[in-house]
Amino acid sequence: MLVNATPSINTRRTLQIQDVGMVFPTKRGPFVALRDINLEVQRGEFVTLIGHSGCGKSTLLNLVAGLTTPSSGIMLLQERELTGPGPDRGVVFQNHSLLPWLSCLDNVLLAVERVFSEKEGKAQLRERALAALDLVGMSHAVAKRPHEISGGMKQRVGIARALAMEPKMLLMDEPFGALDALTRARLQDELMKIVATTGATVMMVTHDVDEAVLLSDRIVMMTNGPAATIGEVLRVDLPRPRVRVALAENRDYVQYRKEVIDFLYTRHSHVEKAA
């Protein structure tokens, strides 16, 4: 019941980014963070943004989230121009950002109420929140406060909060970056399942090559900043469902991985700022 239940292979565009640039004013004059960004994301597609730190991948995600306004260019979400933040995009923050004074259920309810309270009664809203928590395997902790659960669980609740709004797109800013390797792997697997069942359209920022190849339909590789832009886009044609263990020896997987590493470390290796 969350998002569009049919994992359709509909090629309709969900997101269009056209000639977007971002310039931040600083004391030393304007700083060009992003330039000439052009990207389309199809419905049901999983796109990751990868690049070295400071390449503006998070800036790009924040632009799509509406937390910052682009200096130039336009963005369309299902053919409508994006002018600010809104619940049609579910954002999962790196540090979960759950409100510590609300239980897991209430954290999700806060988002659900925002979107559906005009049409639905209290019981239905609660039902939605519970369903979202169930989807991420957190039914056992609905009444717990965020500080009572582990980092991985918090991130699950964060995902539940974002998904419960039935957004047109899920935006994830290094959602697993702060987790240990084992927890991260488990959450990646579950995210793949969730995306498979909900057919969600996802844009995710990461700096983890394996994560990008494992999860993505396309990997958007960004050049180094300042004035970063999209360097290459790699289509990952691995069949789903993808199984981590099997992929480790899959020749295509190794090849995709190599291409990303090649881009990041050979062609656009991170140059530490010389004086």
Q: Under the rule (CB under 8 A), what is the footprint of other proteins?
A: 65-67, 84-87, 89, 91, 93, 95, 97, 99-102, 110-111, 114, 145, 147, 165
Least spacing, CB of residue 93 vs other proteins, in Å: 6
Closest CA to 270 of 221, 234, 235, 214: 221
Beta carbon nearer to other proteins, 119 or 147: 147
Strands of 80-81's sheet, edge to edge? 29-42, 13-26, 72-77, 80-81
Beta carbon nearer to other proteins, 145 or 186: 145
Least spacing, CB of residue 229 vs other proteins, in Å: 25
Question: Which string of DSSP letters, residue by residue, matches 56-123?
Answer: SHHHHHHHHHTSS--SEEEEEETTEE--S--TTEEEE-TT----TTS-HHHHHHHHHHHHHTTTS-HH
Least spacing, CB of residue 54 vs other proteins, in Å: 20
Least spacing, CB of residue 107 vs other proteins, in Å: 9
Closest CA to 223 of 266, 258, 268, 257: 268
Class of residue 177 by CB neighbours under 10 A (exposed 0-12, middle 13-18, buried 19+): middle
Cross-strand pairs, 40:
16
Least spacing, CB of residue 2 vs other proteins, in Å: 17
Beta carbon nearer to other proteins, 2 or 214: 2
Beta carbon nearer to other proteins, 130 or 169: 169
Beta carbon nearer to other proteins, 32 or 102: 102
Least spacing, CB of residue 205 vs other proteins, in Å: 15
Phi/psi-derived region of residue 10, left when phi > 0, alpha when psi is between -120 and 50, beta in every other case:
beta
Beta carbon nearer to other proteins, 66 or 152: 66
- The position carrying tokens 């994301």 is 41
